[in-house]
Amino acid sequence: MSKASTKTESVASRNASSIMTGVMATLAFAVMVIANALANALPLNGVTTGQLSDEIPNLFVPTGLTFAIWGLIYLLLAGYIVAVLKEAFRKNSAGQLWEARDGWLFTANALANAAWIVAWHWRLVPLSMMIMLVILASLIALEERNFKRFNGKHTGIGSRGANPAAPLMRFFLTTPLNVYLGWICVATIANATALLVTAGWNGFGIEPQVWTVIVIIAGLVVALGLALRRNAVAAPLVVVWAYLGIILKRTVVDPDQTRAVWIVATISAVLILGVLAGRLTGLLKGSNSRT
């Protein structure tokens, strides 16, 4: 067998794998959307996702309006799926911006998302926490692959990856996952807090307000890490959105008792926005100095 024919078979196999995982990722996304829609439309187990959250006293949970971000996430992920299918069905695999391994990771993520809905609605909080970690880990893996793929440059502020892909394609292959990751970071913290509450953990005798301040600061560290080390914009902005939800809920429900919570959340949101604005200003100055 000649080297040319071997190479042709290898390319054909790789293309078939990409197509299969691209279709699989699309179907998994459909399952994820349907599961989340049925969760509140039926609702599953006779209770909505929001009602379940309200059953668990948790100062970190934002106001209900904040969860409208899922609509944006689904819309962006639909764009991601379109980009995935376009890449999966490319005849020429040279310079491909999406691979079969990405499809496996996204499929695992979407199915885990649907499984989380079931676990949460049947009040299986420990199981929901384990599933949430799968969702988070798969998103981190996808983010890392995108970061390396685009020459170490994310499609955030000042990104100039060496890959000649069209900006719109880069946007839909990275930004939806970045927004999704930002929200899942917040959701993981909320899920962990809910787990501790349902387990009857007394926080070593420390007041809930103090623990909430600690987890808000933890979220701040994650957001700043994404902004400074990964040049991300969307994920930190999602954390700001979640913190605005916390501020709104706490200032309406119990402003005096939770003063420390909403003040720290406000400071954290301002710090994140300040870092993003500072990086944007530095980029603009650098661009002007070169012209």
Question: Does residue 5 lie in a domain region?
Answer: no
CB 223 within 8 A of CB 272: yes
Please tell me what DSSP assigns to residue 68: G
Of 251, 262, 247, give the one whose Cα is nearest residue 213.
262
Number of domains in the chain: 1
Here the tokens at position 267 are 């400071």
Q: Which residues contact 243 (CB under 8 A, 6 or more apart)?
A: 62, 216, 219, 265, 266, 268, 269
Of 225, 226, 214, give the one whose Cα is nearest residue 178.
226
Question: Does residue 205 lie in a domain region?
Answer: yes
| Whole-angstrom distance, CA of residue 126 vs CA of residue 198 | 9
What per-residue confidence (pLDDT) applies to 53? 85
| Whole-angstrom distance, CA of residue 147 vs CA of residue 162 | 12
pTM of the complete model: 0.90
Q: Is the dihedral of CA 98, 116, 238, 71 positive or negative?
A: positive
| Whole-angstrom distance, CA of residue 19 vs CA of residue 99 | 9
| Whole-angstrom distance, CA of residue 206 vs CA of residue 228 | 32
Question: Does residue 248 lie in a domain region?
Answer: yes
Question: Does residue 291 lie in a domain region?
Answer: no
Question: Does residue 4 lie in a domain region?
Answer: no
pLDDT digits (tens, 9 = 90+) for 233-284: 999 999 999 999 999 999 999 999 999 999 999 999 999 999 999 988 876 7
Question: Does residue 64 lie in a domain region?
Answer: yes
Residue-range definition of the domain harbouring residue 116: 15-285
Question: Does residue 211 lie in a domain region?
Answer: yes
| Whole-angstrom distance, CA of residue 117 vs CA of residue 115 | 5
Whether the link from the prior residue into 43 is cis, omega within 30° of 0, is yes
Question: Does residue 290 lie in a domain region?
Answer: no
Range from 80-94, 97-111, 169-183, 234-248 carrying the lowest mean pLDDT: 80-94
Confidence of residue 160 (pLDDT cuts 50, 70, 90): very low
pLDDT digits (tens, 9 = 90+) for 171-208: 999 999 999 999 999 999 999 999 999 999 888 888 99
